[in-house]
């Protein structure tokens, strides 16, 4: 009897935490679009939204397109695109060893490390297409 009562109490606490957590989440909305670099669909890219208030949200860019749930409001945006340098190895032995090569950032820092990109996410469905250059 004591175990059943304890289990019910635990279940009630978990349910209460879930309900409180749901009430405190920021409103989200879908943001989708394309990423082009020098007029071509981006490959091996990642887009990340950093809202002023709310959790960070990101997505992989596949065949030039992305879709992600982002908190409402203005977000700083970072876009990164990696390129492997063939023939070089990062580490020679141990976990992760192999011939996958070094990876370098293709895009200028103004799109990632020192991003100048922003986007305002509104309550309706949002579309944002990004046309970037490597210059």
The tens digit of pLDDT for each residue in 53-111 reads 889 999 999 999 999 999 999 999 999 998 877 665 554 454 555 555 577 899 999 99
Quick check: is 14 in a domain? Answer: no
Quick check: is 49 in a domain? Answer: yes
C-alpha angle with apex 124: 43 to 45, nearest 5 degrees?
10
Burial class (CB in 10 A: 0-12, 13-18, 19+), 72: middle
In sequence order, the 6+-apart residues with CB closer than 8 A to the CB of 106 are: 37, 81, 82, 83, 134
Quick check: is 51 in a domain? Answer: yes
Distance between CA atoms of residues 109 and 101, nearest Å: 22
pTM summary value: 0.70
Quick check: is 61 in a domain? Answer: yes
Tally of structural domains, the chain: 1
Q: For the domain that residue 98 is a member of, what is the CATH number?
A: 2.60.40.10
Quick check: is 7 in a domain? Answer: no
User: pLDDT tens, 32-58?
Assistant: 999 999 999 998 899 999 998 889 999
Kind plus residue range of the DSSP H or E element containing 22: helix 2-23
Structure tokens at 10: 């635990």
Structural domain harbouring 66 = 27-132
């Amino acid at each position: 009897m004591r175990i059943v009562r304890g289990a019910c109490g635990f279940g009630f606490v978990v349910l209460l935490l879930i309900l409180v957590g749901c009430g405190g989440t920021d409103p989200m909305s879908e943001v989708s679009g394309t990423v082009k670099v020098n007029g071509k669909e981006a490959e091996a890219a990642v887009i990340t939204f950093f809202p002023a208030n709310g959790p960070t949200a990101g997505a992989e860019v596949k065949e030039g397109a992305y879709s992600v749930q982002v908190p409402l409001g203005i977000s700083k945006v970072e876009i990164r695109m990696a390129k492997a340098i063939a023939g070089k190895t990062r580490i020679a032995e141990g976990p992760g060893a192999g011939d996958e090569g070094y990876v370098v950032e293709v895009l200028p820092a103004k799109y990632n490390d020192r991003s100048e990109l922003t986007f305002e996410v509104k309550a309706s469905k949002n579309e944002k297409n990004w046309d970037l250059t490597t210059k």
